[in-house]
Amino acid sequence: MGRATRGADLLLDALMRAGTRTIFALSGNHVMPLFDAALDRDLILIHTRHEAAAVHMAEGWARASDRVGVALVTAGQGHANAIGALCTAQASETPVVLLSGHAPQRELGLGSFQELRQADLAAPLTKASWTAASAASLPDDIARAWRIARSDRPGPVHVSLPTDLLEQEVAPASIAPPPEKAFQPERLALSADTARDILAALGEARRPLVIAPPALATARGAALLDELRAALGLPVVTMESPRGIADPSLGAFAELLADADLIVLLAKPLDFTLRFGRPPTVAAACRWIVIDPDPALLERAARGIGARLILSAQAGATGAATALIAAAREDNGPIGSADWCAVTAASIAYRPADWPSDLADGPLHPAALFGAVQPVLDGRPDSVFVSDGGEIGQWAQALLRAPHRLINGVAGAIGPSLPFAIGAQVARPDSTVLAVMGDGTFGFHMAELDTASRYGLPIVVVIGNDGRWNAEYQIQLRSYGVDRAHGCTLRPDTRYDLVAAALGGHGEWVTRGAELPGALARAVSSGKPAVVNVAIDGRPAPVIRR
């Protein structure tokens, strides 16, 4: 006799209709019906060692595949552990759906095990957050979550799943699956008239800049922006770093911004990353055009910019870019000057010539470290570079290039990079996935090397080990003086490489520059998750000015 259909079966069938085959999960009483139902389906559960890591993996997977990532965790603290990681997905504008088990409906208000107002907790970190109301409507919950996560400004969505709804038997014939359209994003387009008005303003400007949001930092987003750049003949810059205009991967961008006479925000929020658009970051005479899907952000930008705002329009980044491309092609082709494009490209590509590149003995300069790391990324055509913060991350982002780049993003939280790398490797099994992080950052999710080992994911982790939380130590040096620097040291000789070996991976410990190329080569060819623990000279993050 076949099994009866349960709410859990309906939910997973809806996930599969949405195109999902991969779920990043951590088990718990309230989600065991879903674990059970997954067994009968063509689904893989990557089971992780911490709920926040599951969410970061779903985000890394989503960004590396340009699809919706899914994390599944249990109720109560399982859910609470997960939601901190939503900060990063929210700020990077990544479509992630967090599904959390939840106390059964029939016990709510009675002091049920792990009963918690989960949807309320996740609400400020998501585009939408709710608790499923019936077993029959679970497929609609999934369709709605997919639609919201990808519409306009993409971002995370949460649905709590009372466990009795997952267990409840249902008559599948009586439940129509949601139509395909119910899963699809809604896109606020820019009207052709507004697109032409924007082109006219851009045509009159001498040094215009179009600034794109983190959502378009994926491979698909970058391809769309390449089209936009070509159609307009204008510089288009994506801003996705918590360092904002001082993002070292944008070279001397801050100088360009100060020189611009028209800035178009293509659904890029006006916020701290642009120093709120105030002079002298942006010239007092610079004019602004603001496009955003969110009326509250349009209003916030209008308040900040005042009379310098010449046009604002409600549209999403993708819809607006598409309309601008169409309008430019219908008109007379590119409107920008080749000179201005060349100036901006050179400014963004600029790096000081005096950064050391030799692999000297003793703790390495970060620039020398990454000179030796770039060939690993060049080794395969579709490689993925992952990095989060700390000073080491800024050096890595200034220097390393790959077809896919995942940084921690505007949230500025350290820790996601190791789970990001795992998610990206699941999405792109044939790519070299290389993650750079500090010794402090590695500690957040080092247990996930076990997850990488269990699933045969040969990520390469390069740790710049300076024996401290250097970013914060540097703040102490600058703000309080060396004699008041405390509470930010770690042990420079901690053998993080041995952690990798203990968890089924490969470890290398590099204390002399000459050992680095060999260690990197062995790490890549080990075919295992590998940690290359490199003693470095902890430097302040680069500040790039010409």
Ligand X SMILES: Cc1ncc(C[n+]2csc(CCOP(=O)(O)OP(=O)(O)O)c2C)c(N)n1
| Interacting residues toward ligand X by CB under 6 A | 389-392, 412-415, 437-441, 464, 466, 468-472, 538
Q: Which of the choices ligand X, Mg ion, none does residue 139 contact, using the CB cut-off of 5 to 8 A by kind? A: none
Q: Which of the choices Mg ion, ligand X, none does residue 389 contact, using the CB cut-off of 5 to 8 A by kind? A: ligand X
Query: Which tokens belong to 531?
Result: 């940690």
Q: Does 394 bind Mg ion (CB under 5 A)?
A: no
Q: What is the DSSP string of 18-38?
A: TT--EEEE---GGGHHHHHHH
Closest distance to Mg ion from the beta carbon of 438 (Å): 4
> Which is nearer to ligand X, 69 or 416 (by Cβ)?
416
Closest distance to Mg ion from the beta carbon of 391 (Å): 7
Closest distance to ligand X from the beta carbon of 336 (Å): 37
Q: Which of the choices ligand X, Mg ion, none does residue 471 contact, using the CB cut-off of 5 to 8 A by kind? A: ligand X
CA pair distance 416, 393, nearest whole angstrom: 12
* CA dihedral of 342, 346, 347, 351, whole degrees rounded to 10: 180
Q: Which of the choices ligand X, Mg ion, none does residue 413 contact, using the CB cut-off of 5 to 8 A by kind? A: ligand X
Token pair 């060396």 in the structure block, residue: 482
Q: Which of the choices ligand X, Mg ion, none does residue 412 contact, using the CB cut-off of 5 to 8 A by kind? A: ligand X
> Which is nearer to ligand X, 71 or 437 (by Cβ)?
437
> Which is nearer to ligand X, 233 or 540 (by Cβ)?
540
Closest distance to ligand X from the beta carbon of 243 (Å): 11
Q: Does 439 bind Mg ion (CB under 5 A)?
A: yes
Query: Which tokens belong to 303?
Result: 């308040």
Count CA atoms closer than 13 A to 518's CA, side-chain side. Answer: 7
Token pair 């990544």 in the structure block, residue: 94
CA pair distance 243, 388, nearest whole angstrom: 12
Q: Which of the choices Mg ion, ligand X, none does residue 407 contact, using the CB cut-off of 5 to 8 A by kind? A: none
> Which is nearer to ligand X, 319 or 438 (by Cβ)?
438
Q: Which of the choices Mg ion, ligand X, none does residue 391 contact, using the CB cut-off of 5 to 8 A by kind? A: ligand X
φ and ψ at residue 155, rounded to 5 degrees:
175, 180
Amino acid making up residue 15: L
Q: For residue 481, give every residue at least 6 positions away whose Cβ sits within 8 Å of its Cβ, in sequence order, or none.
A: none
Give the footprint of Mg ion on residues 253-292 (CB under 5 A): none
> Which is nearer to Mg ion, 439 or 508 (by Cβ)?
439
Residue 503 parent element (H or E): none
Closest distance to ligand X from the beta carbon of 310 (Å): 36
Asked if residues 90 and 456 have their Cβ atoms less than 8 Å apart, the reply is no
N- to C-terminal Cα separation, the chain: 75
Q: Which of 438, 458, 513, 529 binds Mg ion (CB under 5 A)?
A: 438
Amino acid making up residue 368: A
Asked if residues 211 and 254 have their Cβ atoms less than 8 Å apart, the reply is no
Closest distance to ligand X from the beta carbon of 328 (Å): 39
Q: Does 431 bind Mg ion (CB under 5 A)?
A: no
Closest distance to Mg ion from the beta carbon of 97 (Å): 33
Query: Which tokens belong to 103?
Result: 């106390």
> Which is nearer to Mg ion, 293 or 440 (by Cβ)?
440
φ and ψ at residue 258, rounded to 5 degrees:
-65, -20
C-alpha radius of gyration, the chain, whole number: 24
Q: Which of the choices ligand X, Mg ion, none does residue 51 contact, using the CB cut-off of 5 to 8 A by kind? A: none
> Which is nearer to Mg ion, 94 or 470 (by Cβ)?
470
Q: Which of 247, 466, 497, 508 binds Mg ion (CB under 5 A)?
A: 466
Q: Which of the choices Mg ion, ligand X, none does residue 441 contact, using the CB cut-off of 5 to 8 A by kind? A: ligand X
Query: Which tokens belong to 179?
Result: 């139509």
Q: For residue 65, give every residue at least 6 positions away whose Cβ sits within 8 Å of its Cβ, in sequence order, or none.
A: 427, 428
> Which is nearer to ligand X, 52 or 262 (by Cβ)?
52
> Which is nearer to Mg ion, 60 or 440 (by Cβ)?
440
CA angle 190, 298, 274 (to 5 degrees): 105
Q: Does 470 bind Mg ion (CB under 5 A)?
A: yes
> Which is nearer to Mg ion, 287 or 365 (by Cβ)?
365
Closest CA to 198 of 333, 326, 263, 289: 289
CA pair distance 319, 335, nearest whole angstrom: 20
Q: Does 417 bind Mg ion (CB under 5 A)?
A: no
Q: Report the interface residues with Mg ion, using CB under 5 A.
A: 438-440, 466, 470
